[in-house]
Amino acid sequence: MKHILFLALALFTIHAPAAMSQNVRIKELAKLRGDRTNNLIGFGLVIGLNKTGDSPQSFAKNKAVTTLLSRLGIQPDAQPLLTAAAAAVIVTADLPAFARVGDRIDVKVSVIGDAKSLAGGNLLMTPLKGPDGQLYAVADGSIVIGQANGAGAKVQTVAVIPDGGMIEKDFTPALVQNQAIELNLAKADFSTSNRIALAINKHFHNEIATSVDPARVRVRVPENSWSNITGFIAQVESLEVLADQKAVVIINERTGTVVMGGDVKVSDVAITHNGLSISVGTGKQAKPESVMPLEGTTINDLVKSLNQMGVKPEDLISILQSIHASGALRAEIKLM
C-alpha cells in the first residue's frame, strides 16, 4: 500500500532579504591582495635513523650529504655514504604574511629517496627559500610522525616538526599598489562585490571604491589616510555589508548526509518513489485526511517530513535529486 504524503505549504511573497543573506564584516568576505602565505622549500638530510634510511646507492641521499658537507666547508668524498641511518628529504613550509625575524613556523619533511621511515630521526639545518630564490627561514629539529593513512596506520615517510622553522628574513607584502588596495572576495558574487564598494564609499563619503568584477574591489587610499594605512585598512575591513549566498544542497552519497540551508525553496511538485507518493503544493486536490500542514515552502520542511516517515537516506537523496532535476528545487546540488 502506498504511503501518501501531502505537504500543504503556505506560499509567501517575501520582499525582505532572505535569511540566507546576512550582514557580515568585509574582512570575513574578502582578503587584501598580497595578504597571503607563500611556499618555502628546501633540500635537507635526516640523520639518526635506525636502519630505515636511504640505501647506499640512493642518489638523493648522496647528493644531500655532498651539499651538507660543502656547506660546512668540508671537501666531500666521492664514495657513497655506506649507512642506512640517513635519508634525503624535501622540507616545505608556509611563510605567513608579515612574518618577522625570529618567528617560528611548522615545517613538513618528506622522503625523496628510498628510505622506509623517518621515525626517530633528526633534521639537520636546512635553508628554506621562496619562489624568488631568497632565503627566508632555516629548519631543523626532531622528527614527529603523526600523519595517518586511510587504514589508520601512520605514514612513516612524511613527518612534521612543530615550530621547526625559524624566520630569517622579514616578509612584508606590498598591500598598496598604484595608491590603492585591492580586496579579493572569497566567493565571487556580483551583488556582494557591488555592496562592498557602496558601503566603503558611504562610510568615507567619497567615491574611493570600485567594484572591478565579481571577485575584486579596488579601493583608492584617501590623501588623509596615507599617514595611517593600517588604520584605514582596519576601517575598511570592519564595515558590514549584506552578503548574498547561493542556495546550495550538499549530498554525500557514501554516508547519506544531506547539508542544506533551511530556506532553500521548493516549488510545486509531485513525485513517486519506491511506493511513496509525494506532493508539494497548495493542497487543492488533496484529500483532507492526507494533508499534513506545514509552514513555508522549504526543503527543510520536506526533509523533516520524510524523516518522520522513516524514509531511508538513499531514498531521500534520490528524491532530492529528482526534485532538483524537475526544476522544483531552487538550489545548486553538490555531490560528494
Mean pLDDT confidence for 228-247 = 89
* Closest C-alpha among 108, 65, 72 to residue 87: 65
Give the pLDDT confidence of 122-152 residue by residue, as tens digits.
Answer: 999 999 999 999 999 999 999 988 655 544 4
The yes-or-no verdict on residue 331 having pLDDT over 80 is no
Percent of the chain topping pLDDT 70: 77
**pTM assigned to the model:** 0.65
The yes-or-no verdict on residue 110 having pLDDT over 90 is yes
| 319 or 72: which leads in pLDDT | 319
Q: Contact, 239 vs 200, CB < 8 A?
A: yes
Q: Contact, 65 vs 216, CB < 8 A?
A: no
In the block, residue with C-alpha cell 568585509: 26
Q: How confident is the model at residue 59 (pLDDT cuts 50, 70, 90)?
A: low
At residue 32, the pLDDT reads 93
The domains located in the chain, with CATH, are: 3-13+247-335 (no CATH), 22-35+174-243 (3.30.1360), 38-167 (no CATH)
Mean pLDDT of the chain: 80
Mean pLDDT confidence for 244-253 = 75
Query: Rounded distance, CA 43 to CA 89, Å?
Result: 6
Sheet-wide strand order for 209-213? 30-32, 180-185, 216-220, 209-213
At residue 8, the pLDDT reads 37
Look at 11-15, 84-88, 285-289, 316-320 and tell me which has the smallest mean pLDDT: 11-15
At residue 285, the pLDDT reads 45
**In degrees rounded to 5, what are phi and psi of residue 198?**
-65, -40
At residue 148, the pLDDT reads 53
Percent of the chain topping pLDDT 90: 43
Mean pLDDT confidence for 6-19 = 36
| 315 or 193: which leads in pLDDT | 193
Query: Rounded distance, CA 47 to CA 57, Å?
Result: 16
Look at 68-82, 104-118, 179-193 and tell me which has the smallest mean pLDDT: 68-82
At residue 290, the pLDDT reads 42
* Closest C-alpha among 78, 90, 80, 89 to residue 53: 89
Mean pLDDT confidence for 167-192 = 92
Work out the angle between the directed axes of helices 299-308 and 313-325 (0-180°, nearest 10): 150
